[in-house]
Amino acid sequence: MSAASKAKRRNPNLEVLAFERTPHVSYSACGIPYYVADLVREASELVTITPEQFREQRGIEVFTRHEAVRVSPIKRKVTVVDLDTGRERAFDYDRLLIAVGGKPRRPEIPGADLPNVFTVQTLQDGMRIRRFVDEQRPRRAVIVGGGYIGMEMAEAFRRRDLETTVVEKTDQILPGFERTVVEQVESELDSHQVRRLTGCEVNEIRQPEEATEPELAVTLSNGETVPAELVLFCIGLTPNVQLAVEAGVHLGVTGAIAVNRKLQTNVANVYAAGDCVQVKNLVSGEADYVPLGPTANKQGRVAGENVAGGTAVFSGVVGTSVFKVFELEVARTGLSLERARTAGFDADAVTITAPSKAGYYPGAEPLTVAVIFDRRGGRLLGAQMVGREGVSKRIDAFAVALMNRLTLEEAAYLDLSYAPPFAPVWDPVLVAIHAARGKLGR
């Protein structure tokens, strides 16, 4: 919808049609955990603009509950099915944007399709989970996947008084985060009675014959069986590419749609944006799949500009993200140490802990910062942070440095703001950068 809005603003004479298979458009999917937690009372509070407002205020015709099932590039037609009536219609286009997002992974195991086994991506998903928790009053939940969505949902379930177990197939929660960060998150989960099971997978979900509905038995690869009334898969997204592939659109090495900097595909007059496309990682220089809301919205603006005749470009991302789990803020940008080495850098890392404010000011909290850098040229490659306050915007300083390919030397004296209620004289960002320089002998 950001593309549709941008296209209409650039050329008010355009006829802009948008097709969406769910009942909702333009909402905050990132707010779903807080809706499930009952911090947001109504699902409607997550909706930014309704389909009616798009029609009346922006002149964009929105068809909800309509799924595009076929694209004919030679005829420049899109075939769409009305999911309520089953009726098929073909629409002509001059320019087409495919922005169908990603699909939540759901493993092919027995019981993965039981009624009380969920994924969380759309607002409808969130509403189903919230309704189930409100009406069925489950006592126990199993979350499969220890990434940041899994962490947010663990907090949501604990706020709803569910006994919560997180199952992660790798040897730690938050794959891709440095151990110094992960250890603090583990401690936070422990303090809120969230059980962690790492290095194992779910083999089967079944409903015991003697059990009362909706009790489930979740069997793990380590031989353990965990009882639950609710199971949630948070094991990532795969790009939704079937429609594009059938239209002759090429995929990239990540398995997502390949686009150029103008977000054009290989098919004439067909663009793609959002969680269905691959992007360039500006740190590694490699193709990457980074399904995040800010990336999708930026791409939407670029694509909207270009389908209306513009020449905007989307250069790429550095992979910045932040989340909250109970009282901790956790953030990252750029490459982890392991990924930097895999990408061919002579990478090293340093970790420091510094106060979030002047040490004498009330409320100062320890902030842990990990910096990843290239020993060959001193280039900054990534950063990760964890603490009880002051994380979310400090990570942005590292993101800007990465976008501009700064070295540690160039970043060491960034003119960051200072006042005792907000930061020490030497901000933790600068303390970490100087520690990394020290490891280089500078």
Known catalytic residues are 30
- 3-state SS, 207-243, equals CCCCCCCCCEEEEECCCCEEEECEEEECCCEEECCHH
